[in-house]
Amino acid sequence: MATANPNGPDSPTASNKTVPHDSAIDNALLVSHNTLDEDFIKEIVEKAVDDVIQDATYSHDATNVWANKIAELLVRTLVNVDRDNKYIVTSMIVQNLRQGMRSATSCFWNAQTDNGYSLTREKNGMYVITTVFICKA
């Protein structure tokens, strides 16, 4: 979880744009989905990345706050949709320098009730890699 207060006076800025202090996923998007399927997860991840990063370019100093805000926004959104699950969200931001990066995840869970999604979003000279795990409580 974030240790710095993203709403404080030291909120990062990049490209002369302040990162929004309180982003929220559109209510219409939440109402239109009653299941946590892959399409819904992809939509809310893309929306969270857009809401947090906006049109900012890569800034090493800002990535910690951005990654935390994306993960926290997604957990809040998922809990609002379905409180009967446990959620784990990771968000990693790396600068797009055309250098390789690899990551792997392994899980032991109930394939009937649990699921995981990993999405990579290229935006403004950076990659935002987000993983969402959904497990029945």
- Let me know if residue 18 belongs to a domain: no
In this prediction the pTM is: 0.75
| Cβ atoms of 46 and 40 closer than 8 Å | no
Residue 8: pLDDT above 80?
no
Which domain CATH number covers 91? 3.30.1140.40
Domain span including residue 103: 27-136
- Which amino acid is residue 89, in one-letter code? V
Say what the alpha-carbon torsion angle 137, 2, 126, 33 is, to the nearest 10 degrees.
30
Tens-digit pLDDT profile for residues 11-36: 333 333 333 334 455 554 554 555 68
**Counted domains in the chain:** 1
Tell me if 67 is assigned to some domain.
Answer: yes
Does any domain span residue 13? no
Average pLDDT (33-62) is 88
Q: Say if 7 falls within a structural domain.
A: no
